[in-house]
Each structure stands twice: as structure tokens, then as C-alpha cells.
Copies of this chain bind each other. A is one copy, B any other.
Amino acid sequence: MARERSSRADYAQFKQMTTRWRDNDMYGHMNNVVFYEYVDTAVNTWLIENAAMDIPNGEIVGLVVETSCTYHGSLGFPEPLDVGLKVSRVGNTSVTFEIGLFDVNDQNAAAEARFTHVYVNTETRRPVPLPDGLRGALEQLVVG
């Protein structure tokens, strides 16, 4: 439990996102599942804006093969949150994004998530090497 919390400087870009009443569960804080809605949104927003992916009609599609999240503190409606994004690993056919969820007033992440995509051909469903354009864009999200 003595994990080091990541800070804002560890991420390549940020988006502010609004919370919803339904994000909070019976304990009055953001439910652990909901953190992943922000994670999924951060990754897909970036892919649409920066990688010219035609979701969901392109020739290749990113299959989610693994996700995880470490929770350090609570977040929740009605405060918005800042979502940081970076790429921690660019493989031949896969990429791992890291996503930090921040209270807008906090320099350290309330939660840190990892999200791994394998890119496959839409028809054959077999892994394909990352297209050069996508790879170049992803490399701009690598920090340090």
C-alpha cells in the first residue's frame, strides 16, 4: 500500500472531464468501475483526434486485452476531474497506455490505470503491425 503516486508531470497530455450523479455509488464516492469509463474515453478520444482512426469502420481495430487500475484516493460527482494520458510501451502489434485520474486541485493522481490494445485486422481478427502513422502518433505520447 506504500505505492508511489504519479504526478501530473508523468503524463503527456490532459483532458478535463465532467462527472455525473450516477458516478457515485452507495458510499458517496466514484465507484471503482466508473474510473474505467474515463480511461476508455481518454484513449478513444486521443485515437480519434490524433491517429485518424475511423472508429468503428477502419481496416484495423484495437482490441482491449488487459486493463488495470490502482486506486489511491477518492474522486466523485460533482467535481470534474483531469485525466492524464501517456504511452508506456509501443510494441510491434500492441500499445500500452497509462492514464492518471486527478482531482483538479491535486498534483498527484487519485488513480492510475493501464490499458493495453492489440491491433487486429477487422476481417481476420489477427494482430497486425501498427501502421506507421499510428506508431508515430503514439510515440509522441511517450514521456521521458
Chain A residues with CB under 8 Å of chain B are 1, 15-22, 24-28, 31-34, 36-41, 44-45, 48-49, 55-56, 61, 63-71, 77-78, 118, 127
Name the 9 nearest CB pairs between A and B, nearest first: A68-B68, A32-B64, A33-B36, A21-B44, A20-B41, A17-B18, A26-B56, A21-B40, A21-B41
Measured CB to CB, the closest approach of chain B to A95, in angstroms, equals 14
Would B33 and A37 count as touching, CB distance under 8 A?
yes
Give the residue of B19, B22, B39 whose beta carbon is less than 8 angstroms from that of A25.
B22
Q: What are 30 A-B contacts with C-beta separation under 8 Å?
A: A1-B127, A15-B18, A16-B18, A18-B18, A20-B38, A21-B40, A21-B44, A22-B33, A22-B41, A24-B25, A24-B26, A25-B26, A26-B26, A26-B28, A26-B55, A32-B40, A32-B64, A32-B67, A33-B36, A33-B37, A48-B78, A49-B78, A63-B71, A65-B70, A65-B71, A66-B69, A66-B70, A66-B71, A67-B68, A68-B69
* Given A1-B118, A26-B26, A66-B69: A40 in contact with B33 (beta carbons within 8 A): yes
Would A27 and B41 count as touching, CB distance under 8 A?
no
Q: Is the interface of A mostly helix, strand, loop or mixed?
A: mixed
Candidate in A20, A45, A69 with the most chain B CB atoms within 10 angstroms = A20
Q: A65: which B residues are within 8 A, CB to CB?
A: 1, 70-71
Measured CB to CB, the closest approach of chain B to A125, in angstroms, equals 10
